[in-house]
Structure 1
Amino acid sequence: MTENTPGPQEPRQDPQDAYWRPRDPAQQESAQQESARQESARQESARQESARQDQAQGPAAQPEPEQAQPEAEQWAVHQTAQLPGHEQQQVLFGSAVSGQGQPGVYVPPATTQTYPTPPPPSSPPPPRRAGGLVAGVAVLALLVGGGAGAFGGYLVADHNAATAPSSLDLPKPASQAASNAPDGTIEAVANKLLPSVVQLRTQNGEGSGFVIRQDGLIVTNNHVIEQAADGGSLKVVYQDGQVADATVIGRDPSSDLAVVQSKGVSGKTPVTLGSSENLKVGQAVVAIGSPFELSGTVTSGIVSSLHRPTRAGGDNGSEATVMDAIQTDAAINPGNSGGPLVNMAGQVVGINSAIYSPGTSSRQQGGSVGIGFAIPIDQARRTADEIVKTGKATQTVLGVKVQTDQSGVGAKVSEVTAGGAAQAAGLAAGDVVTKLDDRRIDTSDALVAAVRSKAPGDKVTLTIGNGTRTVTVTLGGQTVPTN
């Protein structure tokens, strides 16, 4: 079927967008002539396109001379491009587009897209194939350019890495001698004390201690060596790695102190003992010991409080073990017990003994929460000296039994020991002690700790009740039983 034959046909997929339109017989001949003229124009355009492609494919190809197109035909093909103000608009041919077409009648294209006027033959437009090649070359150039940029960047980075200074190329600094640490620093304190701090091991535990004599005489806590007191195994590990057996010289469960003697050692470095009397809250201190078997551990902090009544190890934490403690926030953990608390001059001012560990029982091991307690060295020194000289310790006593008053303030005397210091001074059951010298007494433990901080024979003034009565007492002493 020819394209002018009436009958149902699918519209050609033509850039001209053919339509089906109703057509009367009088117009059929005119439509056929117009269609033939346009077909002739399309064939001529295709011939010219083929000639241009042949010319682009090789230098030998020569374009055929173009035949002049009638001026009327050129106008018919390109008239929309030449009409001012009608660029990129639809151009209508023949009948109007409104209304419904009659089936079976093919209508020539009623619309078309406008095209720009072709350039003169002397400068033909680049062929479509060449345009595709240019685009492909552009993409290739882009990819190569990106790769070249990355490679170039790598070369620059490699060059910079080869020429830039590196910490690895700098010479190693000279070794710093331990003695070069400035006085008053933690480093200087550690250098001075570490050779004197030891680890103590029993069959079921371990703790710390420090040397007070060159032949290996050591001060520690009673609860560290308690299991070895009746002949059990006790070993001392020194900072230089030497291990020696040791025996217990004497101990005081009430003050949680003990003295042990290493066997077969000499030339050890003893510590320098300071004074706890002049300590100030906020003063810097260092703790040294073997927490969790980590020997030679150094921590630092400050004195958080003074004269803190604390029930330490031994006798299941009863009132008999209350000490007048130094509170510190230097990290103290299980295994630090018996190790030294040191001021920044490198002098021992306390013996680390206990920590506050919320949520644990007396049989559980807690960790540091920044609340540790140390026995003041003034009290420990007197007790250790008695043990070294006599093998026993003397406990300072007032000669009363006390309990915290129901009002919550003061220590109430519940019983007076016959022939004791309190009875000689006139204290009686029912008296409430609210001060010892200038120290306030809020609880029964506070009174026990205050008395323990003194030596037998010391005189103290006790304030009774609201201060209307005072009593002067000469404190007594008694030998501390070890069993």
Structure 2
Amino acid sequence: MTSKDDHSDSPQSYSRGWNQPRSEHPETPNDSSSQNSIEHTQEIPTLSAQAGQAPHEAQSAQPGNSAQPNAQGPYGAAAANNGSGNSGFDPNAYGPNTYGHGAAAGQPGYGAQAGGTYAGGVGTAEAPGVPGGDAEGPKPSKTKRTVGLGTALAMMLVAGIGAGGVAGYVVGNSNSNGGNGTSVSEILNSQPVNNTNSTGEEAAAGTTEAVAAKVTPAVVAIQVISANAASEGSGSIISPDGYVLTNHHVVSGAENGGTMQVTMNDGTKHEAEFVASDANTDVAVIKIVDGQELPFLEFGDSSSLQVGQEVVAVGSPLGLNATVTSGIVSAVNRPVRASQGGGESSLIDAIQTDAAVNPGNSGGPLVDMSGNLVGMNSMIASLSSGTSGEAGSIGLGFASPSNFAQRMAQQLIDNGQVVHPMLGVQVDGRDITDGAHIVSVEPGSAAEQAGLEEGDVVTRVNDRAIEDADSLIASIRGQEFGSVITLEVTRENEDSSREVEVTLPKE
């Protein structure tokens, strides 16, 4: 089944990018009145940092993009904004962080997080007058006093020392008088209290700690260098001889001669080779060269996932290898489309999760609390604007269901390409009505044999409601070859509906 869909008018997109908001720098006035004001105030710069986005591949940093409500999909690095420090204040104390995501070839290194400035005034006040006066006559008003930033900080430091001195005196005095208090030296020289989750015993089954211990050895960070770009992502080892499941957008640069390397959880690096991928479903398979007896993940049954069920995401966001985050299944059967570049787009019938998924997580596993692979993290929604930037997690991550990814991986390994069950209709991608509006039926197709016609509107597949064309496409792709499905169908401008039973073609 094909779609004439055009979703460019959608206010929300799913991507692999982030944006970095511009820092606002207050202008310094030049007139004398402003100078007088400056004598009484000191601007205190504070760091304003923005994190980055899309589970997924790394892209080059884009400086100074403003954030607007919009959504994007899988991930990259933020650009540095250089905020100017004030006199008497060392901006290096708040220097930018420098860990980041990937960068385009020919561009330097990794992106840095940026700092902005916010002005905070430290003012002075006159002492209040005494009502009624006194016998000595009115006292002269006290002159205003100013406190510079350096003085203020010094006063704060001195105050801290003073407080510590008083506390130390009280404790020491109590001990000297036969009290039962404990001295600071005794506390600092005592043994640390054991963390309740770090007792040295094996973690209890079903805990995030146990899941992390089981899963992380079978998750790799992927680095790809092609002729014109570099990208990073994650992958799940799915066999002891080194086959790795990941996203098409992570490894597409290696499809035509790029180089690829994977980093294991223990830091060891191995060369990897491209096997095959499918842009339409954003699924790919690579293989670790000379892989033998490697730890691997077992596939779970994604069709049994329940909303609210706990899950764990593992990957390498922003190049931070073996990062573990946890959350729940927020929704299932969520059709999500993202641009793949070159005019292509991918559509998945996603598992939605609030586990933090960021740029670099793409291709990594979403697992249940038994450590079984139930999804492949592929996209995130963000509030960044434009197509050139990336943003970080806002609690809306999307993963390809494991049942679907497993079938795609098998086809890619066996045949080098994938095929999907086809209904045999074309649908209108514009949201002009509830459901999927059929604009044509292919002769001899499963749809024609079932009696579907142009003008029919599909509103349900089995027990699943169909809101639009993407819902129908994603639903049919998720079916098994040769399966029998029941469609609920209406006609344009008619209230009545009918059920149509369709047998999908065999592979």
Q: TM-score range by the shorter chain?
A: 0.5 to 0.7
Identity, % of aligned positions = 40
Instruction: State yes or no: 1:168 paired with 2:183.
Output: no
**TM-score with structure 2 setting the length:** 0.60
Aligned match for 1:189, one of 211, 215, 218: 211
1:310/1:154 Cα in 2 relative to 1: closer, same or farther (>3 Å)? Answer: closer
**2:264 aligned partner, one-letter code:** Y
**CA offsets 1:228-262 (integer angstroms, 9 cap, x no match):** 11121111111111111111111121211111011
Distance of 2:356 and 2:416 partners within structure 1: 32
Quickly say closer, same or farther: Cα 1:477–1:170, change in 2 above 3 A.
same
1:472 paired to 2:501: yes
C-alpha distance 218-305 of structure 1, shift in aligned 2 (>3 A): same
**Deviation of the 1:463 alpha carbon:** 1.2
In structure 1, C-alpha distance between the alignment counterparts of 2:171 and 2:427, rounded to whole Å: 84
Match of 2:457 in 1: 432
Contact residue 334 and residue 367 of structure 1 kept, 8 A: yes
Q: Which residue of 2 aligns with 1:334?
A: 359
Question: Conserved in 2, the CA contact under 8 Å of 1:349 and 1:376?
Answer: yes
**Counterpart Cα distance in 2 of 1:251 and 1:442:** 29
Q: Give unpaired runs (5+ residues) of structure 2.
A: 1-165
- State the partner residue of 1:43: none
Task: Check the 8 A contact 1:405/1:432 in 2, yes or no.
Answer: no
Distance 1:349 1:178, change over 3 A: farther
Residues 1:177 and 1:423: Cα distance change in structure 2 (over 3 Å)? farther
Partner of 1:180: 202
* Structure with more of its chain in helix, by fraction: 1
Larger Rg: 1
Q: CA deviation at 1:468?
A: 2.8
Q: 2:396 aligns with which of 371, 374, 398?
A: 371
Instruction: Report the CA distance between 1:452 and its aligned residue.
Output: 1.2
> Could you report, residue by residue, the CA deviation over 1:108-140 in whole angstroms, capped at 9, with x for unpaired residues?
xxxxxxxxxxxxxxxxxxxxxxxxxxxxxxxxx
- Displacement of 1:177 in angstroms is 7.3
Cα distance in 2 between the residues matched to 1:237 and 1:370:
27
Superposed displacement of residue 184, structure 1:
0.7
Q: Determine the structure 1 residue equivalent to 2:54.
A: none
Corresponding residue to 1:391 among 407, 412, 416: 416
Matched, 1:274 2:303: no
Sort the Cα spacing of 1:474 and 1:177 in 2 relative to 1 into closer, same or farther, 3 A: farther
Inter-partner Cα distance in structure 2 for 1:152 and 1:469: 86
Counterpart Cα distance in 2 of 1:151 and 1:205: 55
Query: Counterpart amino acid of 1:451?
Result: I
8 Å Cα contact 1:404/1:410 also seen in 2? no
1:178 shift after superposition: 6.9
Higher relative CO (Cα under 8 Å, sequence separation at least 6) belongs to 2
| 1:461 aligns to 2:486 (yes or no) | yes
| CA RMSD between the two structures | 2.8
In structure 2, relative to structure 1, the CA distance for the partners of 1:155 and 1:229 (3 Å cut) is closer
Map 1:61-460 → 2, pairs under 5 A:
156=173, 159=176, 162=183, 165-166=186-187, 168-170=189-191, 176=198, 180-203=202-225, 204-314=230-340, 321-403=346-428, 408-460=433-485
CA contact (8 A) 1:312 1:322 kept: yes
Query: What TM-score does the superposition give when structure 1 sets the normalisation length?
Result: 0.63
Partner of 1:334: helix, strand, or coil? coil
Q: Give the conservation status (yes or no) of the 8 Å contact 1:311–1:317.
A: no
Tell me the distance in 2 between the aligned counterparts of 1:151 and 1:421. Answer: 84
How many pairs are equivalent?
329
Change (3 A) 1:415 1:153: closer
Give the aligned residue type for 2:173: V
Amino acid in structure 2 at the alignment position of 1:156: N
Q: Which runs of 4+ in 1 moved over 6 A?
A: 149-152
- Amino acid in structure 2 at the alignment position of 1:444: A
CA contact (8 A) 1:434 1:441 kept: yes
Q: Once structures 1 and 2 are overlaid, which stretch shifts more, 291-300 or 452-461? A: 452-461
